[in-house]
Amino acid sequence: MRVFMTVHPLSVLVSFRSFIELTTTIPFVISNFIEHGQYLYVPYFLRSWVLLLRVKSAMKIKVNLQMTDKPMDALKVKLIRLVVTLIVLLYNGMSAFQYCEVTFGDINYTILESLLIMVTLSTVGYGDITPHTEGSRIVMMLLIGISLAVLPGLIADALNTLRKRRDGGGYVSKGDMPFILIVGTFTPEQANDILDGFLNRENAEIHLNVVFLDINKPSEELKLMERNSMWGHRVHILNGSVLNESTLHRVRARYAEAIFTISDQHANDPGKEDERNTVRLWSLYCYTVVHNVPIYTYNLYPSTAIYQKMAKEIICVREFKQYLLAMNCRCRGASTLLTNLLHQRQPMNRYDEPWQAQYDDGSCNEIYMAVPARCLVGLTFGHAAWMVFRECQVILFAIKTLTELPDTYEVLLNPGSKYIIKDSDLCVYMAESPKEICDIENMRLAEQDSEY
């Protein structure tokens, strides 16, 4: 059933869970067609691993489907995983050890005696019960090896969660690198938009983590997002002030790939909020200046930028609005075009007028950049743009190419039919979703149409 319901059936077939289910199910089917099949031994105790996987899935489903209003405690979840994994390991060890002793030897241990295998495990094979057959020795070796491979990671994860709780604000460990640090005040909606921008499928940094630092303690919704969102393992929500050097050390600000300071849009006094954001920026700059960490800042007023010359980029929505209004005076409709390209929205399902469908179809487009597909390399810009639009209904309108200066790009808007696309270029597309960009990458070079 899971094979037909999943998007990737092959990954289900080759999974550990499918292997266990086949190992414990196929022998029952075979036993019906062979002589004395009722005596065929089936290691059914292995299905306890499937139970462990179902316990983990049940905890995730309970939260993701919002079956309870009470958020699950992170430490409690990790302790449950640790205890259940330990029980499953001991149960499988007891069953396999007893089977080998009975089958290949002449000793039949009771259940209470088999529990002493815990002592044998802790003494690396020697204790009140010792293996007398080769099969039992192999079982103990496998049990010890699996325990050393699985349990330390689970114990360290639980201790790490406990340490974060005791520290109050949390911290960033070496295992969380590379990461970006975002400083400000966040709501669940803002955090979700930020995560969608940094951790979507287009991002080439598949191991990039995002660390939020808020002077206020995170709300229950933010904690729930940290533990149970689709990016939960790559998100850390900490609290503390960047004016405190111990906080900067705790979040490893000097080792961040980039730092973003964001003013609170809902502040009662935007001017005061920009002043606080400037002070945060100064503190971060003084702490990270030797390590050359790029700092980006977002302000509410354009005039704040004069105090933030050390920032690599300064962003202000009000200044951008003024820029759009000025551009609209020179070119009618320019502000509407750019706003629709920058604003993310889903297409409507119902239209009252035919023109609304056409307008909505165009306004849902966004700008994407990607390396040129193999079939586009060596083609002229005009031919590539025509082929991309014909096959995928995507508009190729610009090329980002290297200049004579090292590691410096320039954007060429509609460079014309004389420009030849190179491997080092970046194509700038206008498309509805990343799916169309993936279709371009998988597109094959077709024969040139005679109409072109």
Per-residue pLDDT 10s for the chain (452 aa) are: 555 556 566 666 777 778 888 888 888 888 888 888 777 888 888 888 888 888 877 776 655 554 554 555 667 778 888 888 888 888 888 888 888 888 888 777 776 676 666 666 666 555 566 778 888 888 888 888 888 888 888 888 888 777 766 655 667 777 677 899 999 988 888 888 888 777 765 555 667 888 999 888 877 777 777 765 566 678 888 888 899 888 898 888 999 999 999 998 888 999 999 999 999 999 999 999 999 999 999 999 999 999 999 999 999 988 888 888 888 888 888 887 777 777 666 666 777 788 877 777 777 788 888 899 988 999 999 999 999 999 888 999 999 998 888 778 899 999 988 899 999 899 999 888 888 888 888 876 544 444 44
Question: Cα separation of 102 and 58, whole Å?
Answer: 36
CATH number (domain holding residue 384) = 3.30.70.1450
Residues 6+ apart with CB under 8 A from 255: 177, 291
My answer on whether 127 and 187 are in the same domain is no
Residues 6+ apart with CB under 8 A from 308: 278, 281, 297, 299, 314
Residue 251 belongs to some domain of the structure: yes
Name the token pair of 185: 């005040």
- Number of compact structural domains in the chain: 3
My answer on whether 115 and 240 are in the same domain is no
Residue 330 belongs to some domain of the structure: no
My answer on whether 305 and 379 are in the same domain is no
My answer on whether 179 and 155 are in the same domain is no
Contact present, 284 and 253 (Cβ < 8 Å): yes
* Residue 18, domain extent: 14-164
My answer on whether 156 and 188 are in the same domain is no
Question: Cα separation of 412 and 428, whole Å?
Answer: 10
3-state helix, strand and coil shares in percent for the chain, rounded to the nearest 5: 55, 10, 35
Show which of 138, 164, 190 is a domain's final residue.
164
Contact present, 426 and 376 (Cβ < 8 Å): no
Residue 7 belongs to some domain of the structure: no
My answer on whether 191 and 153 are in the same domain is no
Cα–Cα distances in angstroms (integers) from residue 408 to residues 20, 56, 204, 424, in the given order: 54, 48, 19, 12
Residues 6+ apart with CB under 8 A from 201: 434
> Phi, psi at residue 184, to the nearest 5°?
165, -160
